Chain A
Amino acid sequence: MRIGVTVFPGSNCDRDALHAVELMGAEPVELWHADADLKGSDAVIVPGGFSYGDYLRPGAIARFARVMGPLEDFARDGGPVLGVCNGFQVLCEAHLLPGALLQNTHMRFACDRVRVRVETKETPWTSGCENGEELTLPIAHNEGNYFADPETLARLEDEGRVVLRYLENPNGSANDIAGVCNEGRNVVGVMPHPERVSDPALGSDEGLKILRSVLAEATV
């Protein structure tokens, strides 16, 4: 399975994500922001960082990068896409996911390890977890405060599209939301960083439970 990782100017988790893909046993494919196609990727990770310096709003400029055209087509055709941290922000700005990530309510950068609960295994990125399973994942963000209007929030909850939920809310996020998916369930955005806990050498490989889930898609 080929898993693409997008690289924008200012991405800083792309190497970690590529390394995690290798540890998963898949083939990592670097996707430069100016690339015109996804180089045959079967799944794509939009990694964390500060794409385009977070100028204007986090993710606002990255969503117009050239590689986002084919990525949006891929996502709309049902291809598995995972946005992590800044990647989540990019996917929201691109309207591939609902809502927006606002500044943390406490006005501080949140850098920690947090407990999250997997709320649904019905996505390509959580199918290897159990519903209700708790994971410890790192967070590192200034704009992780998930916001959506009340109707959208109610819909996300009704349709089981909250993917990860914080056990203790670190940023003011609505309904303690740490991750959501789109209507087709193939596009997932999460604030915590599974790729940063993908190797026992990093202290934990719990993040692989999320990342490895997508391997099941290879046989579909």
Chain B
Amino acid sequence: MKVRVLVRPKEGILDPQGEAVRGALPALGFGGVKTVHVGRLIEMELESADDVDAMCRRLLANPTVEEYEWEVVS
């Protein structure tokens, strides 16, 4: 099966990458962009999704500063 994990900065954590992108969009003429957050997408092919949550907590995300969600995509 294929699992997709989305990792992103926790709410309220400063996100310099997101801020830089937010600053760059108006420069290209895209107005009205209020916030941008940049995260990380991780796709894995696995035999079972049993351990995905543990993988997220122990390695894929740093729970101190990041939150994650995951789904089975196929």
Where the two chains meet, the residues of A that have a C-beta atom closer than 8 Å to any C-beta of B are 56-57, 60, 64, 92-93, 99-100, 102-107, 145, 147-149, 172
Which residue, B13, B17, B62, has most C-beta atoms of chain A within 10 A? B62
Q: Which residues of B contact A145 (CB under 8 A)?
A: 14, 16
Q: Report the minimum CB–CB distance from A107 to chain B (whole Å).
A: 5
15 extra A-B contacts, CB within 8 A, seeds A64-B59, A102-B13: A57-B62, A60-B59, A60-B62, A100-B62, A100-B65, A102-B65, A103-B16, A103-B17, A104-B16, A106-B16, A107-B17, A147-B65, A149-B64, A172-B14, A172-B16
- For A148, give the chain B residue with the smallest CB separation: B64
Which residue, B20, B60, B64, has most C-beta atoms of chain A within 10 A? B64
Q: Which residues of B contact A60 (CB under 8 A)?
A: 59, 62
- A104 CA to B15 CA in the complex, in Å? 10
Known A107-B16, A107-B20, A145-B14; judge A100-B64 contact (CB<8 A).
yes
Q: Which residues of A contact B16 (CB under 8 A)?
A: 102-107, 145, 172
- Interface flags for B14-54 (1: CB within 8 Å of A; 0: not) read 10110110000000000000000000000000000000000
Where the two chains meet, the residues of B that have a C-beta atom closer than 8 Å to any C-beta of A are 13-14, 16-17, 19-20, 59-60, 62, 64-65
- A166 CA to B14 CA in the complex, in Å? 20
Contact present for A102 and B17 (CB under 8 Å): no
- A145 CA to B15 CA in the complex, in Å? 11
Contact present for B60 and A56 (CB under 8 Å): yes
- For A149, give the chain B residue with the smallest CB separation: B64
Q: Report the minimum CB–CB distance from B4 to chain A (whole Å).
A: 16
Known A100-B64, A147-B65; judge A105-B59 contact (CB<8 A).
no
- For B42, give the chain A residue with the smallest CB separation: A56
Q: Report the minimum CB–CB distance from B38 to chain A (whole Å).
A: 10
Q: Report the minimum CB–CB distance from B73 to chain A (whole Å).
A: 21
Q: Which residues of A contact B13 (CB under 8 A)?
A: 102, 147
- For A57, give the chain B residue with the smallest CB separation: B62
- A105 CA to B59 CA in the complex, in Å? 24
Q: Report the minimum CB–CB distance from A108 to chain B (whole Å).
A: 10
Q: Which residues of B contact A56 (CB under 8 A)?
A: 59-60
Of B14, B60, B64, which one neighbours A99 at CB under 8 angstroms?
B64
What are some 29 contacts across the A-B interface (CB < 8 A)?
A56-B60, A57-B62, A60-B59, A60-B62, A64-B59, A93-B62, A99-B64, A100-B62, A100-B64, A100-B65, A102-B13, A102-B14, A102-B16, A103-B16, A104-B16, A105-B14, A106-B16, A107-B16, A107-B17, A107-B20, A145-B14, A145-B16, A147-B14, A147-B64, A147-B65, A148-B64, A149-B64, A172-B14, A172-B16
Q: Which residues of B contact A103 (CB under 8 A)?
A: 16-17
Q: Report the minimum CB–CB distance from B22 to chain A (whole Å).
A: 12
